[in-house]
């Protein structure tokens, strides 16, 4: 995978409890067309697919499952996040090298800020790391969840 540092949500982020990704992506504010009453709307998930890679880089232990969600919000603080897609992954699948089936940023990602949110179910893990980001392209020779 080829990542741009500005499009990286998690860089070998340890997930020991429910948490948001270390980084957020700012898709920047939309402008207002001359004579229009409001700014343009956007949805980065429409049109050409934007590859996203969410990969386990250190095996997890003790939890029952991990839910990975793509969230968007109008404000950087994510006071009112909107989950556009999520996937629950059982412990047995949380091994090094596993890549999420959330291959693309989904339609509905229509607010300025985007992040990944990790929800731990069961006992808090003492090991387990994830890297996630918007990638140049989706590598397809791996095994998906």
Please list the ranges in the chain whose pLDDT falls under 70: 1, 138-145
Q: Look at residue 68 in the predicted model and tell me its pLDDT.
A: 96
In a domain, 142, yes or no: no
In a domain, 16, yes or no: yes
What are the b/e assignments for 103-122, b being 16+ CB within 10 Å?
Answer: bbbbebbbbbbbbbbbebee
In a domain, 37, yes or no: yes
| The two three-digit tokens of residue 56, written as one number | 């386990």
Strand pairing class (19-20; 25-26): unpaired
Domain that holds residue 88: 3-135
3-state DSSP percent of the chain in helix, strand and coil, to 5: 0, 45, 55
In a domain, 31, yes or no: yes
- Going through 15-62 in order, the beta strands assigned E by DSSP cover 19-20, 25-26, 52-58
Q: Which residues contact 47 (CB under 8 A, 6 or more apart)?
A: none
In a domain, 22, yes or no: yes
In a domain, 109, yes or no: yes
In a domain, 75, yes or no: yes
CATH at residue 109:
2.60.120.1110
Q: Look at residue 139 in the predicted model and tell me its pLDDT.
A: 64
Domain count, the chain: 1
pLDDT digits (tens, 9 = 90+) for 15-30: 999 999 999 999 988 8
Contact 10, 53 (CB under 8 A): no
In a domain, 143, yes or no: no
Regarding pTM above 0.95, the answer is no
Q: Look at residue 141 in the predicted model and tell me its pLDDT.
A: 63
């Amino acid at each position: 995978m080829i990542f741009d540092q500005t499009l990286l949500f998690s860089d070998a982020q340890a997930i020991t409890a429910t948490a948001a990704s270390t980084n957020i992506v700012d898709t920047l504010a939309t402008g207002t067309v001359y004579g229009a009453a409001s700014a343009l709307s956007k949805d980065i998930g429409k049109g050409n697919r934007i590859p996203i890679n969410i990969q386990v880089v250190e095996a997890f232990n003790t939890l029952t499952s991990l839910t990975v969600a793509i969230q968007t919000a109008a404000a950087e603080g994510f006071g009112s996040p909107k989950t556009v897609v999520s996937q629950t992954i059982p412990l047995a699948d949380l091994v090094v090298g596993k890549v999420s089936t959330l291959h693309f940023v989904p339609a509905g990602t229509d607010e300025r800020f985007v992040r990944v949110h990790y929800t731990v179910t069961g006992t808090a893990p003492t090991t387990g790391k994830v890297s996630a980001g918007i990638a140049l392209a989706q590598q397809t020779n791996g095994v998906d969840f």
